[in-house]
Amino acid sequence: SNRGIVIGAGIGGLVSALELAARGVDVLVLERAGAPGGKMRQVGAGENAMDAGPTVFTMRWVFEELFASVGAHLADHLDLQPVGILARHAWQAGEQLDLHADVHRSAQAIGEFAGAQAARGYVEFCARARRTYRALERPFMRASRPGPFSLATRAGLSGLPDLLRISPFVTLWQALGDHFSDPRLRQLFGRYATYCGSSPFQAPATLMLVAHVEQDGVWLVRGGMHRIAQALVRLAGARGARFRFDAPVREILTRDGRTCGVRLADGEELAADAVIFNGEPAALAGGLLGKDSGRATRAVPPPQRSLSALTWNLVARSEGFELLRHTVFFSSDYPREFDDIVRRSRLPSEPTVYVCAQDRDETDHRNPTGPERLLLIVNAPARGDTRPFAPEEIARCESQTFRLMERCGLRLDPDPACTVRTTPHDFERLFPASGGALYGRASHGWMASFSRPGARSKLPGLYLAGGSTHPGPGVPMAALSGRQAAVSVLADLATARGRDIRSTPRSEPAVMPGGTSTR
């Protein structure tokens, strides 16, 4: 049988390994870390294991289709709980707004928060988000890697007015001004740009489709998001895939101008008919896996990188503010926050803070009497490979983070022995050549969605998967990239054997731009 190697056990790599193994390819997954998941990682804070990456499960249909395609049922492998309240948002003490999965409940809450005109603006915004999603679904989302011309061609004459109506040439921040005069609401919905590591002041208005994705359903994974990676490992293993952890790859090997295998850090060589790289494409372009694979894809210039983050996994007592599973504490000056991060490449002087309370679910929002597991995330520039932040810069940002939460009424008493901090420099170490960027290339400008590499690299036999490739960042997006890579490998192997490939999936997996990710 054909041999395939997958480098990296992130979601994209796990999905491609599952797809290939289910279709008879002899698959070996090599992962430099000691556990699967990639950015969907778990950390131990003291004796407490908790998620340290993505925190929400959306676009459930992506995983339902994936599991069905290999003869399994999603519900048999993951315990998913639908979320009624998407998030609680706070600006200062007594000034908070809950956004609901149900549009009408959200409109009612927005009306009470900011007036009837704001509620009407929200309903119009949701309709526009839905139109945006539908206009892009066929020509962009179901295409393997479209360019502007092919996007217009696929839309056809009848679809072109819809494409122009979704405002690809204005920023998300500008478009939100059409619907919300209240700056707090612009800030709330502008945050959708950060779901793919971008600034709302530079990202295109098309990213408002994230609002429609959320209304389509958000779920909690019982036991944590890391369970998704574990479920994929079990499922792929049952289909014949093999896994080796703590197995870093030093070089991708080539022969006669095509990929032929890999060399591990310990010198062991492994042959393969196809290699899928589920890592930061810039690592290839930078020669980190040998000079031959350096021509496989182009590097992303540092100014075009997406956001990084400064995160804290804590075990802490909380009081004074009722956290939900997802709570956002907003900075008082959003333009300045992104000016600091994007233009000045420094930690924000006052950051917006996202808190994931991992012990809270839909049934219990009351403050627990004892300590609870919390993940705090603030946006940061991706300069972990060039100018790591000095300890005093990090300490200043940390104190501002806790001061902002206190302004909104939340007091935390963390246990220093159960605190894990992750900086852009740490993310660069975890994901080499990223600079700490967590979402690949930033979605700045209308052309950015067409700039991500597709599944086929420029080196025959080497394929790409992961959140830095098409269709974009986020758990469902990375899964779709894994499906695209598997489809491409199967098609090319069949062509090499000179036979029909009707045994492989007939329709290309659906893909979409943007995507939800670490909040």
DSSP per residue, 233-301: HHHHHHTT-EEESS--EEEEEEETTEEEEEEETTS-EEE-SEEEE-S-HHHHHTTTT-SGGGGSSPPPP
458-487: pLDDT as tens digits: 999 999 999 999 888 899 989 999 999 999
303 three-class SS: helix
- Percent of the chain at pLDDT > 90 equals 76
- What pLDDT sits at residue 167? 55
Cα separation, 184 vs 505, whole angstroms: 46
What average pLDDT does range 177-204 have in this prediction? 95
* Cα 17-268-251 angle, rounded to 5 deg: 70
Query: Is pLDDT larger for residue 515 or for residue 460?
Result: 460
Q: Is the pLDDT of residue 432 over 60?
A: yes
Identify whether the C-beta of residue 124 lies closer than 8 Å to the C-beta of residue 179.
yes
Joined tokens for residue 74 = 């999603």
Joined tokens for residue 168 = 């690809």
Quick one: which of 58, 62, 216, 232 has its CA closest to 142?
62
463 three-class SS: strand
Confidence tier at 161 by pLDDT (50, 70, 90): very low
Quick one: which of 434, 437, 452 has its CA closest to 513?
452
What average pLDDT does range 35-50 have in this prediction? 92
- What pLDDT sits at residue 369? 78
pTM of this structure: 0.92
Joined tokens for residue 266 = 């310990």
Q: Scan for tokens 């956290």, then name that residue.
A: 323
Mean pLDDT score across all residues of the chain: 89
Q: Is the pLDDT of residue 155 over 50?
A: no
Confidence tier at 388 by pLDDT (50, 70, 90): very high
Q: Scan for tokens 């333009």, then name that residue.
A: 335
Identify whether the C-beta of residue 256 lies closer than 8 Å to the C-beta of residue 246.
no
Joined tokens for residue 82 = 């639908």
62-110: pLDDT as tens digits: 999 999 999 999 999 999 999 999 999 999 999 999 999 999 999 999 9
207-237: pLDDT as tens digits: 888 888 898 899 999 999 999 999 999 999 9
Which contiguous run of DSSP H or E holds residue 400? helix 391-407
Residue 216 has φ and ψ, to the nearest 5°, of -75, -10
The type of residue at 371 is: P
Quick one: which of 48, 34, 42, 52 has its CA closest to 417?
48
- What pLDDT sits at residue 81? 94
Residue 70 has φ and ψ, to the nearest 5°, of -115, 20
* Cα 256-260-261 angle, rounded to 5 deg: 150
- What pLDDT sits at residue 205? 86
Question: What does R_g of the chain's alpha carbons equal in angstroms?
Answer: 22
Residue 34 has φ and ψ, to the nearest 5°, of -90, 0
What average pLDDT does range 447-462 have in this prediction? 86
CA distances from 100 to 86, 87, 122, 218, 516 (A): 5, 7, 12, 10, 16
111 three-class SS: helix
